[in-house]
């Protein structure tokens, strides 16, 4: 009996030693997710894609880099105001390749224009072209005397692009901007807040600091006494383009003749010419018709301008036309043809 009891006790001791020890693991600590990094870079621009080509100087009286400088002002104004994706300006490109180049780079619009020195300022013609159909959706001519003036023109172009793209004229960027708030309302006030660095040296030669023509310069050939009275042109282009084109016609004629723009009563020119001339019977009435031919994919549009000249009693004195890839060139070619045949405006 005693031996049995000892055997049972030994068996219990062995069982206790062999039994696995149960270890209670500490409760797992719930990992706290790392905070998401806040992007600190410049936000990716969105909106219609646009290219600003260097403006073309129509006179040797402007610095070599004048066109590039004005294009830089436009690009900075677009970027500062938001709403547009401004693509880098491609290498030197011939104007006839503007639409094709813009299409290859994925732009929906491009801006180009012309510069002409006038007094202490510069006459700037800006044009906004839709790459999709080659149509000029906006055009404006204005005299520019400062960076703010050029910036105001850029903001007008921006509004036209946003409106055509369906974004709306009142677009305002949602992200905060480092650009100082406008000091006045309207495009001029917004343009005044645009800070543009690195081009002040060139600007000094463009706006108000060009050398004065020396007194010993040759006297320009006197213009004929017969005046050119310009009547608003018609055509299939938007009203704003027709207004700008009328200004261009007057500017090109003014190089050769004493020229002024006059209002014309409704009706055929043969019937209204007498009223237009009034007491200035030694005048010629010039007007015309602009035909804009839209382009299509990978093919730019073109312009044809019909120029007509009338006597004060209504007789048609001249009728000619010129074709070009853009409206200003078509008008200039038509005027040059007229001047070659009628140097005295007769």
Contacts of 190 (CB under 8 A, 6+ apart): 81, 151, 152, 155, 182
pLDDT of residue 305: 95
Q: Where in the chain is the domain with CATH 3.40.50.10070?
A: 49-172+183-206
CATH topology classification for 227-341: Double Stranded RNA Binding Domain (3.30.160)
222-274 per-position pLDDT tens digit: 888 899 999 999 999 888 788 888 888 988 899 899 999 998 887 788 788 98
Rounded to a whole number of angstroms, the CA Rg of the chain reads: 35
Pairing of strands 49-52, 85-86: parallel
From 3.40.30.10, 3.40.50.10070, 1.10.10.10, 3.40.50.300, which CATH number describes the 49-172+183-206 domain? 3.40.50.10070
**Contact present, 194 and 151 (Cβ < 8 Å):** yes
Which among 255, 320, 215, 258 is positioned nearest to 117, based on CA atoms?
255
Q: Which two tokens stand for residue 257?
A: 């003749």
Residue 218 clears pLDDT 70, i.e. is over it: no
Name the segment(s) of the chain with CATH classification 3.30.160.100. 227-341
| 328 closest CA partner among 71, 115, 102 | 115
Could you tell me the pTM of the whole model?
A: 0.47
Q: List pLDDT tens digits, range 136-172.
A: 888 888 888 777 788 888 888 998 999 888 865 444 4
């Amino acid at each position: 009996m005693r031996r049995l009891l000892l055997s049972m006790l030994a068996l219990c001791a062995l069982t206790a030693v062999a039994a696995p020890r149960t270890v209670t693991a500490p409760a797992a600590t719930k990992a706290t997710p790392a905070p998401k990094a806040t992007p600190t870079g410049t936000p990716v621009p969105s909106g219609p894609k646009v290219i600003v080509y260097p403006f073309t100087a129509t006179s040797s009286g402007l610095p070599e880099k004048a066109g590039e400088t004005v294009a830089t002002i436009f690009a900075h104004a677009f970027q500062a105001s938001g709403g547009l994706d401004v693509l880098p300006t491609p290498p030197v490109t011939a104007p006839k390749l503007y639409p094709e180049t813009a299409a290859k780079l994925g732009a929906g619009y491009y801006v180009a224009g012309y510069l002409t020195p006038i007094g202490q300022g510069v006459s700037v013609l800006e044009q906004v072209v839709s790459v999709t159909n080659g149509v000029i959706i906006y055009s404006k001519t204005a005299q520019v005397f400062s960076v703010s003036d050029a910036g105001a023109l850029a903001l007008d172009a921006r509004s036209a692009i946003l409106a055509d793209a369906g974004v709306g004229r009142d677009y305002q960027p949602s992200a905060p901007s480092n650009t100082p708030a406008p000091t006045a309302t309207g495009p001029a006030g917004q343009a005044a807040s645009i800070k543009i660095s690195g081009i002040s040296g060139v600007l000094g030669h463009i706006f108000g600091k060009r050398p004065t023509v020396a007194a010993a310069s040759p006297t320009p050939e006197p213009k004929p006494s017969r005046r050119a009275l310009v009547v608003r042109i018609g055509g299939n282009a938007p009203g704003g383009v027709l207004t700008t084109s009328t200004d261009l016609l007057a500017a090109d004629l003014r190089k050769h003749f004493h020229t002024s723009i006059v209002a014309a009563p409704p009706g055929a020119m043969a019937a209204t010419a007498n009223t237009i001339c009034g007491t200035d019977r030694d005048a010629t009435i010039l007007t015309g018709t602009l035909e804009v031919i839209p382009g299509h994919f990978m093919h730019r549009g073109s312009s044809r301008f019909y120029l007509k000249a009338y006597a004060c009693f209504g007789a048609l004195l001249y009728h000619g036309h010129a074709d070009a890839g853009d409206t200003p060139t078509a008008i200039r070619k038509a005027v040059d043809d007229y001047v070659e045949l009628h140097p005295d405006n007769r």
